[in-house]
Amino acid sequence: MPGMIIRTKIVATVGPACGSVERLGELARAGCDVFRINFSHGTDEQREAFLANIRQVEQELGEPLAVMGDLCGPKIRVGPIVGGGVLLVDGQEIVIQREPKIVEGDTRRISTTLGELIDEARQGQSILLDDGKLRLRVVRTEAPERIVCQVVRGGVLGSGKGVNLPNTDLALPALTEKDRNDAAWIASREFDYVALSFVRTARDVMQLRELLDAAGCDARIVAKIEKPQAVKNIEEIVQVADAVMVARGDLGVEMDLPAVPVAQKHIANLCRREGTLCIVATQMLESMTNSPTPTRAEVSDVANAVLDHADAVMLSGETAVGKFPTASVRMMNQIVRHVQSYYDETAEPMRVSYARARTEAALASAVREIMAVERIAAVAVYTGTGTTARLFAKSRLKCPILGLAPSAAVARRMCMYYGVASRQAAAPEHTREVLALAEQFAVQLGVAGSGDRIVVVSGRPVGQAGSANTLVVHTVG
């Protein structure tokens, strides 16, 4: 569809399957807006190469691309196991040992990367292994060195598999030593978003913000919701995070699976109300890791995330290690495009009422009123921080939003915003120059032509944070 901008953004995880300049370029042309670099895997040298390749693609395309660094968080994993894996049988007993250096796991005993698990676990509590595929129940504790468990649901357990304690509120720091080192590494490079894993409270987010601020880093923070405590504290988390990710992998292990879709809808609705970005992630097109086509259920899952008002949907293993990374992005792009067409025919633009940005909310309301009586081809915003464009995006206007920014960092930041196409543009001195920039951008994108009308929003002084106060209905010449 000529001039159509796909409004739901796509996040793709970078890995061995797509880390080259050539493949990253394919993903960007297929519809990827944000590239995620996962700090749970690989080395700093590999991540440095991924980042350099993304920026090369950005330069070649002449369009901004955002990069998100995803911190590991306090993920607990199984220690080393003899031969790489053993079979645990239903009903058998198995010991979890405190110190991994003392034991190489077998069918009788294993260790984990968190020695304190021995202190925290209580009789009768569940311990889940390998994303919940295996389940243990604590029979007794034999402090200070071990606990004895019974295998409730067995299977093959491999080295390094994840460990979850859904009934235990572990006293772990939000930022591990590795996270702090990785955050410092990120802060010294051109990252646009930093994702914090296993968030439990708003304070966890604020600790990362303090660390980034101290390093002079303005990257936006994504709070990953993957624990029941985070769902319980979601309202305060949404207030302090720039974006929230419904990370359904660990969340689906820590909570009852049928509760996860309800949590997704609740979180997305709260983010819409508060003007916070919402990303839905995990297993969205999982079968495309090894298959050129997704299942019908996966297609519906992506579509429903869009209808839940997600700003972005994310691919993980599908692009990082899958056989069909480009096809996965292209398929996701096709799904969100079809949902967008349906949405534009059936839904009304949303009202916004953000206590923290009343002027921007009022301007968004004014734009809706104008669009109700006049055909508007696009809404252009010149913004110093991206805030006005973000709040316009949360209004779900039925036309493209063109985000113009004085810096590359802000233009990249807007790559995560629903419905926003962004570009860097030198700060103009007068409103008429903003109108000329907006018209040029709209024509270049093919969303407006001669005689079409666009709404242009800016402030005085132009580009200064918090100054948005001018709205002009402009006819393209």
Residues 6+ apart with CB under 8 A from 43: none
Burial status of residue 20 (CB atoms within 10 A of its CB: 0-12, 13-18, 19 or more): middle
Residue whose pair of structure tokens reads 């936006």 in the numeric block: 220
How far apart, in Å, do the first and last CA atoms of the chain sit? 23
Q: At what angle do helices 325-346 and 21-30 cross, to 10 degrees?
A: 20
Residue 224 among the catalytic residues: yes
- Annotated catalytic residue within 55, 209, 224, 412: 224
Residues 6+ apart with CB under 8 A from 237: 199, 201, 202, 205, 223, 225, 230, 244
Residue 293 among the catalytic residues: no
- Annotated catalytic residue within 36, 47, 227, 394: 36
Tokens in use for 431? 């409103």
> d(Cα 96, Cα 126) in Å, to the nearest integer?
13
Residue 161 among the catalytic residues: no
- Annotated catalytic residue within 77, 265, 337, 453: 77
Distances (CA, A) of 396 to 8, 79, 96, 273: 10, 47, 51, 12
How many other C-beta atoms are found inside a 10 Å radius of the C-beta of residue 346?
8
- Annotated catalytic residue within 282, 326, 385, 387: 282
How many other C-beta atoms are found inside a 10 Å radius of the C-beta of residue 332?
30
Residue 119 DSSP SS3:
helix
- Is residue 71 within 8 A of residue 181, CB to CB? The reply is no
Query: Is the dihedral angle over the CA atoms 75, 79, 81, 87 positive or is it negative?
Result: negative
Active site residues: 36, 77, 224, 282
